[in-house]
Chains A and B, each alone.
Chain A
């Protein structure tokens, strides 16, 4: 009997142990991250920025105004070519774009968000229950572009800084034909020079 109980206890404890992995990503206010991968004519981009940069607060949206701000920000973040302006000669068009707000508490149960990127635009409404917790929030966006002439991607103008006043800096990592490179784009000089990439 005793053995059975300990066995049950063990079984009960095991899933709890398995889930007990704590992990937090770096979170620096004012600093967003942009990942760009170029393969042929396809350009995949992932962008993330702290809630503080985008809407100015990181608690779960409570008032109507908060919610409207989040909705507007998500809508803006879903238009990548208005935020990261590419040269016209490159002939880039958006084939897929999605943006969402994530709190750090939610992020872990939601690892597979890559798979359902089209539907999560209104996901932030699920975050009401975290209203009491003083956590960080982050906006995430994913884009896929098709560029007719990717060699013409010599620079990207970060109109992003004009749209979001709290953003100071974006750390950019780019994978291009000649390997990976990292850049920092700051509000003072909001243009990314990519000539070294080709």
Chain B
């Protein structure tokens, strides 16, 4: 009875109530969206590397090394000399080691030099391996394998020629060496999608005619001469390592960190990610606090509209009283109205969130490599929504109590 009354009452004031619902919906969408992006980013990062025990690079910071070598974000780390790489690769603890050489680009995409073993050893999303969607893993010196996003963005097919440039966003492109696409990888949702993969020797080959960062004028080594050259790399950017037994991981890490000939750093990917979250966590909390404040603001806005409606509804309340409604009923009516408003706001907010996710998902994925899964609302989100409704009821208590007190005597007599 009282519920029907509340619904009818809300419907009678559709415009103001609609605005309040919209305000609550937007704030709920913001709050849940921030939470979604936060957990999505975390999962996306955590899923990018799996099965690698250690990442080795020049001594910098563990977060910097991880971000640059795996996510290709942030400042470049120094290189590791080939000799040190060989020394580490020869250690008995090593099960497998895959070098990574970064620093060149193709259009907006990074070029990564590595070995064929990368395709077997690199794992993402709890141990999934890279899969070739078309073509094959590179076989020739000038073969490249490109990620799914590279192929989609630039419209490349297997067999297409490709030009690899020196440095990122450089205008001087390595026009001499004709690279060819030998394979296209299946979509992974990791930075590999936005990477052009070549062999380590190819990275050396690109730089044959380049000394101190600029091409020597009038000098261009023919391709067949390059093929005859010794293309052993002088340095690599980083290396992914698998250890024979987990028991040896920390010992190997210490040995690399104390490697006397060159300052090196070995990091456990999981621990480095945790370090990153510890830093990012502060900003996350701030963001979450701000969006929570927006929800609070919307609820206070609702309280203000209920207050202002009290004056308009004095006559209405008086009629209820005259018809036998007790002051408690008036109180309950207002609280239920507020809860309904908050609940509708919460549900609409959830609907807006999913609509937004649906639209933004491909954009976020291609622009930032951030994959936000569209799942059913989690228990946590359900609790947030229930919390909004409860908070709506809570803020309505103040105007409801006022209405309760007024309705005891007020409005029965028409004053003017």
Out of A25, A114, A181, A182, name the residue touching B251 (CB < 8 Å): A114
Q: Is the CB of B250 within 8 A of A182?
A: no
Stretch at the interface among B108-116, B141-149, B267-275: B267-275
- Is A15 in contact with chain B by the CB < 8 A criterion? no
Q: How far apart are B254's CB and chain A's nearest CB, in angstroms?
A: 8
Q: Is the CB of A175 within 8 A of B246?
A: yes
Stretch at the interface among A3-11, A38-46, A84-92, A118-126: A38-46
Q: Is the CB of B247 within 8 A of A46?
A: no
Q: Is the CB of B250 within 8 A of A35?
A: yes
Give 1 or 0 for each of B31-63: 1 = CB within 8 Å of chain A CB. Answer: 000000000000000000010010000000000
* Measured CA separation A44–B251 after assembly (Å): 10
Q: Is the CB of A46 within 8 A of B261?
A: no
Give 1 or 0 for each of A100-133: 1 = CB within 8 Å of chain B CB. Answer: 0000000000010010000000000000000000
Q: Is the CB of B271 within 8 A of A180?
A: yes
- Is A159 in contact with chain B by the CB < 8 A criterion? no
Given contacts A39-B245, A181-B274, A182-B275, contact A175 B250 (CB under 8 A): yes
Q: Is the CB of B246 within 8 A of A21?
A: no
Q: How many residues of A contact B (CB 8 A)?
A: 18
**Cβ–Cβ < 8 Å partners of B248 in chain A:** 37
Q: Is the CB of A173 within 8 A of B250?
A: yes
> In chain A, what residue has the closest Cβ to B278?
A182
- Is B341 in contact with chain A by the CB < 8 A criterion? no
**Cβ–Cβ < 8 Å partners of B249 in chain A:** 37, 175, 180
**Cβ–Cβ < 8 Å partners of B246 in chain A:** 37-39, 175
**Cβ–Cβ < 8 Å partners of A173 in chain B:** 250, 268, 271
> In chain B, what residue has the closest Cβ to A21?
B260
* Measured CA separation A160–B251 after assembly (Å): 23
Q: Is the CB of B258 within 8 A of A46?
A: no
Q: How far apart are B231's CB and chain A's nearest CB, in angstroms?
A: 29
**Cβ–Cβ < 8 Å partners of B247 in chain A:** 37, 39, 42, 44
Out of B251, B270, B275, name the residue touching A179 (CB < 8 Å): B270
**Cβ–Cβ < 8 Å partners of A37 in chain B:** 246-250
Give 1 or 0 for each of A27-49: 1 = CB within 8 Å of chain B CB. Answer: 00000000101110010101000
* Measured CA separation A35–B271 after assembly (Å): 12
Q: Is the CB of B260 within 8 A of A182?
A: no
Give 1 or 0 for each of B263-284: 1 = CB within 8 Å of chain A CB. Answer: 1000011110011000000000
- Is A2 in contact with chain B by the CB < 8 A criterion? no
* Measured CA separation A146–B274 after assembly (Å): 28
**Cβ–Cβ < 8 Å partners of A114 in chain B:** 251
- Is A195 in contact with chain B by the CB < 8 A criterion? no
* Measured CA separation A179–B251 after assembly (Å): 16
Most buried by A among B245, B263, B268: B268
**Cβ–Cβ < 8 Å partners of B274 in chain A:** 181-182
Residues B261-315 near A (CB distance < 8 A): 261, 263, 268-271, 274-275
**Cβ–Cβ < 8 Å partners of B268 in chain A:** 173, 175, 180
Q: How far apart are A33's CB and chain B's nearest CB, in angstroms?
A: 10
Q: How far apart are A132's CB and chain B's nearest CB, in angstroms?
A: 26
Q: Is the CB of A180 within 8 A of B258?
A: no
Q: How far apart are A9's CB and chain B's nearest CB, in angstroms?
A: 23
> In chain B, what residue has the closest Cβ to A183?
B274
> In chain A, what residue has the closest Cβ to B270?
A180
Most buried by A among B53, B246, B247, B270: B246
Q: How far apart are A168's CB and chain B's nearest CB, in angstroms?
A: 18
**Cβ–Cβ < 8 Å partners of B258 in chain A:** 23, 25, 111
Residues B205-260 near A (CB distance < 8 A): 245-251, 258, 260
* Measured CA separation A25–B257 after assembly (Å): 9
Residues A148-184 near B (CB distance < 8 A): 173, 175, 179-182
> In chain A, what residue has the closest Cβ to B253?
A35
Q: How far apart are B270's CB and chain A's nearest CB, in angstroms?
A: 4
**Cβ–Cβ < 8 Å partners of A42 in chain B:** 247
Most buried by B among A25, A46, A111, A175: A175
* Measured CA separation A25–B269 after assembly (Å): 21
* Measured CA separation A114–B254 after assembly (Å): 11
Given contacts A21-B260, A21-B261, A111-B258, contact A46 B250 (CB under 8 A): yes
Out of A21, A39, A111, A182, name the residue touching B271 (CB < 8 Å): A182
Q: How far apart are B200's CB and chain A's nearest CB, in angstroms?
A: 27
Most buried by B among A35, A42, A180, A181: A180
**Cβ–Cβ < 8 Å partners of A179 in chain B:** 50, 269-270
* Measured CA separation A182–B246 after assembly (Å): 15
Please give 5 more A-B residue pairs, beta carbons under 8 A apart, in addition to A111-B258, A175-B268. A38-B246, A39-B245, A180-B269, A181-B274, A182-B270
> 9 pairs across A/B with beta carbons < 8 Å?
A21-B261, A37-B246, A39-B246, A44-B250, A46-B250, A173-B250, A175-B53, A175-B268, A182-B275
Task: Tell me the B residues contacting A by CB distance below 8 Å.
Answer: 50, 53, 245-251, 258, 260-261, 263, 268-271, 274-275
Task: Tell me the A residues contacting B by CB distance below 8 Å.
Answer: 21, 23, 25, 35, 37-39, 42, 44, 46, 111, 114, 173, 175, 179-182
The 3 closest A-B pairs by CB, nearest first: A180-B270, A180-B268, A35-B250
